[in-house]
Amino acid sequence: MRILVTGGTGYIGSHTCVELITKGHEVVIVDNLYNSNIDVLDKIEAITGVKPKFYEVDILDKEGLDRVFKENDFDAIIHFAGYKAVGESCVIPLTYYKNNISGSINLYECMAAHHVDNIVFSSSATVYGDNFEVPFKEEYGQGDTTNPYGTTKKFNEIILEDFCKANKDISAVSLRYFNPIGAHPSGLLGEDPKGIPNNLVPYIAKVATGELDHLNVFGDDYDTIDGTGVRDYIHVVDLAKAHVKAIEYAQRHKGAEVINVGSGKGYSVLEVLHAYEKACGKKLAYEVKDRRPGDIAVSYADTKKAKELLDFEVELDIEDMCRDSYNFMIKSQKNEG
């Protein structure tokens, strides 16, 4: 298939391009490089032997996007492009709504105008909010999201559902990712956010490399194994493989579906910290702080639907995730220094 990948130079997008190319698909990337680097194209080439065709286009630029559709005959779309920082979305909500919703609508309009029928959308477990019992099941629907970022994901799922109801040829799969971490085993692709990371594993990674001196653990009084928050971490390479299966599923299916993509297992903050200590071979300092506002105690996926519809199950575990994350950090440091 010839697949348009929006946000394809980003963290999850770049890993997905590798898996798509490896499976023989042709990839065309659209990204405005807001949160990624053009070098990623060379890295994808170094891993796969193929450099994807690339357009530096903002999905808010409808004419630019339309040109990309005119110049390429796509079979399917995987839509990653968007802003993703939960805290920032509370400060600049309109910017988030514009980028993640108006940008997506531009894309869906181009899809309709150019008769591209299949799309996989990056949704998030955040759409469950704090309303439901674990494991989170797709049939729960959507909960009360706790921040504008989460609401953009919820709205996109609803928009795609309505789009499919009105257009019987369209197939839209919203994948609800749990917590993607890790990096490509080559050490060439991964996530190294600028500044102080918001998310757990990027933060621990910077403690491991000495850029930060300790981890702040947000709360140790939850009703969990050791009092710290529990999440369902998934290796980004497994997540990328789920996209290949989802886009193939979208081709043989019509209508809207939402599917969880997680491991089905939960790990506490301290369990992840200890797994990372094993990966980097040293003790990592931490301090317990107050709970982070908006956090829930436990989140993990019911994975049955992914198994049934996509024949997808994770292959990599928490040790693989921490090993590959640390390998990427060390390799990036060497390249910078």
- What is the rounded CA–CA span in Å between residue 13 and residue 10? 5
- Give the pair of three-digit tokens for residue 205: 């990674």
Min CB(272)–ligand WQD separation in Å: 7
Site membership for ligand NAD, residue 75 (CB under 6 A): no
Taking CB atoms, the residue at the shortest distance from ligand NAD is: 10
- CB of 134: closest distance to ligand WQD in angstroms? 13
Q: Is 149 a catalytic residue?
A: yes
The one catalytic residue among 149, 233, 300, 326: 149
Least Å from the CB of residue 167 to ligand NAD: 23
**Of these, 177, 222, 249, 312, which contacts ligand NAD (CB under 6 A)?**
177
H/E stretch holding 17: helix 11-22
- Residue ranges in contact with ligand WQD by CB under 6 A: 84, 86, 124, 126, 179, 198-200, 203, 215-218, 229, 231, 269, 292, 295
Segment near ligand NAD (CB under 6 A), from 2-10, 135-143, 303-311, 312-320?
A: 2-10
Which segment (80-88, 89-97, 130-138, 288-296) binds ligand NAD by CB under 6 A?
80-88
Half-sphere exposure of 8 (CA within 13 A, CB side): 30
216 binds, among ligand WQD, ligand NAD, none (CB under 5 to 8 A by kind): ligand WQD
Distance of alpha carbon 275 from alpha carbon 137, whole angstroms: 27
Q: Which of 60, 152, 159 is nearest to 119 (CA)?
A: 159
C-alpha separations of 271 from 6, 176, 267, 326 in Å? 34, 23, 6, 16
Q: Tell me the closest approach of the beta carbon of residue 325 to ligand WQD, in angstroms.
A: 12
What the block records as the tokens of 112 is 């309709």
CA dihedral 323, 306, 6, 31 (to 10 degrees): -20
**3-state class (DSSP) for residue 26:** strand
Listed residue (161, 163, 65) closest to 114, CA to CA: 65
Catalytic site positions: 149
Name the residues that contact ligand NAD, by CB under 6 A: 7, 9-13, 31-36, 58-60, 80-84, 99, 103, 122, 124, 177, 180
